[in-house]
């Protein structure tokens, strides 16, 4: 498993994208975060837990605390009214907040870029632009997340489904989770010992490919996604497993299916993470 095993599981905000405007955090230095990116960070925090344990959400809170203190973009006084959880069907989560009395409720969502594009009903051109920007982040090994916002009439019944909100796309956030420094040497040692290393992750395929190259698992990685796995029968899966070492956008139950397929082919399998 990639996150926390091959990587440090210490997320940090590395890149922001709002429309055509891109910002590399390393290049920010001591300068203040430019205003066009304030709303993106604001809604990333609103779509996160109030007291997060997830390293990604901790990164949002930490960066917002550094960059948005004493601005109108932090809302400790707001009340969380409803949470819409991530699901295998929709890789996005939303929070509905009660803000100031007499004003509309606020909805914030974050998730896989393709899921956010779906929630926002983006036109083909905007969807293609989003995919290109997300792919550029993923090619650098960053985890790309989309962020969106909506309003909901105060005191109105809460929708049961995230699709019932009228979302507007806000932007993309790229998060870095550095590789553990000892990983390439460990992977090389495994290879010398005749042990094949396979990487499984829920991340974007391009992120998975970039991390696999950094780790020395596969520098020209073929990647199979969870959606592709779902369409493979046992024979086709066994054939693909002979030559593919990187799996992305994989659900937890699919990780078990991969292990069982390897064992069925006669392999001795150890799983970490």
What pLDDT is recorded for position 156? 77
Q: Which residues contact 139 (CB under 8 A, 6 or more apart)?
A: 206, 209, 210
Both tokens of 158, joined, read 């809460």
Residues 106 and 168 in one domain: yes
The residue range of the domain holding 240 is 183-264
Residues 69 and 133 in one domain: yes
For residue 95, what are the β-bridge partners? 83, 108
Residues 164 and 189 in one domain: no
Q: Is 79 part of a structural domain of the chain?
A: yes
For residue 179, what are the β-bridge partners? 7
For residue 65, what are the β-bridge partners? none
Q: Is 1 part of a structural domain of the chain?
A: no
Residues 169 and 240 in one domain: no
CB 94 within 8 A of CB 47: yes
- Cα–Cα distance between 261 and 272 in angstroms, integer? 17
What pLDDT is recorded for position 9? 82
Quote the number of domains for the chain. 2
What is the residue-level pLDDT of the chain in tens, covering all 273 positions? 988 889 888 899 999 999 999 999 998 878 889 999 999 999 999 999 999 999 999 999 999 999 999 899 999 999 999 999 988 789 999 999 997 777 889 999 999 999 999 999 999 999 999 999 999 999 999 999 999 999 998 777 888 899 999 999 999 999 999 899 999 999 999 999 999 999 999 888 999 999 999 999 987 768 999 999 999 999 999 999 999 999 999 988 999 999 999 999 999 999 988
Q: Is 271 part of a structural domain of the chain?
A: no
Q: Is 272 part of a structural domain of the chain?
A: no
Q: What angle do CA 145, 23, 12 make, to 5 degrees?
A: 50
Residues 65 and 138 in one domain: yes
Q: 147, 176, 205: which is the final residue of a domain? A: 176
- Cα–Cα distance between 163 and 161 in angstroms, integer? 5
- Cα–Cα distance between 205 and 201 in angstroms, integer? 9
- 221: domain CATH number is 3.40.50.1000
The pTM of this model reads 0.85
- Cα–Cα distance between 172 and 18 in angstroms, integer? 7
Residues 168 and 188 in one domain: no
Helix spans in the chain (H): 38-46, 55-67, 113-119, 124-139, 183-192, 205-215, 226-230, 234-241, 252-264
What pLDDT is recorded for position 221? 67
CB 59 within 8 A of CB 45: no
What pLDDT is recorded for position 70? 85
Residues 192 and 120 in one domain: no
């Amino acid at each position: 498993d990639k996150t926390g095993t091959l990587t440090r599981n210490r997320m940090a905000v590395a890149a922001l994208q709002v429309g055509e405007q891109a910002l590399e955090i390393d290049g920010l230095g001591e300068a203040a975060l430019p205003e066009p990116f304030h709303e993106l960070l604001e809604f990333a925090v609103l779509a996160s837990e109030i007291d997060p344990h997830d390293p990604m959400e901790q990164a949002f809170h930490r960066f917002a605390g550094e960059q948005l203190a004493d601005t109108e973009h932090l809302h400790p006084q707001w009340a969380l009214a409803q949470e819409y959880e991530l699901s295998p069907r929709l890789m996005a989560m939303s929070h509905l907040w009660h803000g100031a009395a007499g004003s509309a409720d606020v909805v914030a969502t974050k998730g896989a870029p393709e899921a956010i594009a779906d929630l926002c009903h983006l036109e083909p051109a905007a969807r293609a632009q989003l995919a290109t920007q997300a792919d550029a982040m993923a090619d650098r090994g960053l985890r790309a997340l989309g962020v969106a916002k909506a309003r909901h009439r105060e005191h109105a019944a809460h929708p049961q489904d995230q699709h019932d909100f009228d979302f507007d796309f806000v932007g993309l956030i790229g998060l870095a989770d550095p590789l553990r420094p000892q990983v390439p040497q460990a992977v090389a040692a495994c290879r010398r010992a005749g042990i094949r290393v396979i990487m499984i992750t829920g991340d974007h395929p391009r992120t998975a490919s970039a991390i696999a190259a950094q780790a020395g698992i596969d520098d020209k990685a073929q990647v199979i996604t969870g959606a592709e796995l779902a369409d493979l029968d046992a024979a086709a899966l066994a054939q693909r497993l002979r030559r593919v070492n990187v799996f992305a956008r994989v659900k937890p139950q699919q990780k078990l299916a991969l292990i069982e397929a390897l064992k069925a082919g006669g392999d001795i399998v150890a799983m970490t993470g």
